[in-house]
Amino acid sequence: MLTVTLNRPEKFNAFDATLHAELAHCLTQLPSDHAARILILTGAGKAFSAGGDMTTAPPGPGQFARDAQEGRAIARGLLDCPQMVICRMNGDAIGLGATIALLSDFVIAADTARIGDPHVRMGLVAGDGGALIWPMLVGPMLAKRYLLTGDLVAAPRAAELGLITQSVPIDSLDAEVSKQRDKLLAGAPLAQQFTKRSVNAALQALMATQFDLSLAYEGITILSADHVEARAAFVAKRAPNFTGD
Q: What is the pLDDT of residue 55?
A: 84
Distance CA 114, CA 153 (A): 5
Q: How confident is the model at residue 112 (pLDDT cuts 50, 70, 90)?
A: very high
Q: What is the pLDDT of residue 208?
A: 86
Percentage, residues of the chain above pLDDT 90: 82
Distance CA 203, CA 184 (A): 22
Superfamily of domain 1-171+189-245: 2-enoyl-CoA Hydratase; Chain A, domain 1 (3.90.226.10)
For the chain, what is the radius of gyration of the CA atoms? 17
Q: What is the mean pLDDT of the chain?
A: 95
Residues in Cβ contact with 25 at an 8 Å cutoff, skipping those fewer than 6 apart: 73
CA atoms within 13 A on the CB side of 217: 15
Residue 110 has pLDDT above 90, yes or no: yes
Task: Give me the residue spans of the domains in the chain.
Answer: 1-171+189-245
Distance CA 134, CA 99 (A): 8
Strands (DSSP E) found in 46-117: 84-89, 93-94, 106-110, 114-116
The closest of 195, 213, 98, 198 to 155, measured between CA atoms, is: 98
DSSP string for 132-189 = HHHHHHH-HHHHHHHHTT---EEHHHHHHHTSSSEEE-GGGHHHHHHHHHHHHHTS-H
pTM of the predicted model over 0.85: yes
CA distances (Å), origin 104, targets 27, 62, 100, 182: 12, 29, 7, 17
